[in-house]
Amino acid sequence: MRLRFNPIFYSQINKFFNDLERNKINYKITSGLRTYHQQKKLYLNNPKDVAYPGTSFHESGRAVDLANIKIDRKFFQKPVFMAFLSKHISIQSIFISMIDTIKIILE
């Protein structure tokens, strides 16, 4: 079975990445699509912070994690970041976790 991003999510996140690049904002995708077996391995290594296999948005092609974004910290203050992100993805459809990565999910 070939893994693919959800088409709606892919379209929205692609526009977001293009806007990051136009604004010279560096980013690194740390996680995207995962198989059930990849999710299971992650879960077994870290069950507190990783979704149970079969329930992850990464498995359904509706999540991406970003890291290494090198810009002013004010960008990550929620209202500013959400305004930037909402140009591409409706605020109702995302969850952002900014502990050490940014997780963008289409629910």
pLDDT digits (tens, 9 = 90+) for 10-69: 888 888 888 878 877 777 788 889 999 999 999 999 898 888 999 998 998 888 887 755
pLDDT at 99: 45
Model confidence pLDDT, tens digit, residues 52-69: 999 998 998 888 887 755
Q: Mean of the pLDDT values across residues 72-90?
A: 62
Q: How far is CA 1 from the centre of its chain?
A: 22
Taking the C-alpha atoms of residue 81 and residue 79, their distance in angstroms, rounded to an integer, is: 6
- pLDDT(3) > 90: no
pTM: 0.71
Taking the C-alpha atoms of residue 55 and residue 20, their distance in angstroms, rounded to an integer, is: 29
Burial 41-74 (b: 16+ CB within 10 A, else e): ebbeeeeeebbebeebbbbbbbbbbbeeeeeeee
- For residue 30, give the nearest of 70, 69, 66, 71 by alpha carbon: 66
- pLDDT(95) > 70: no
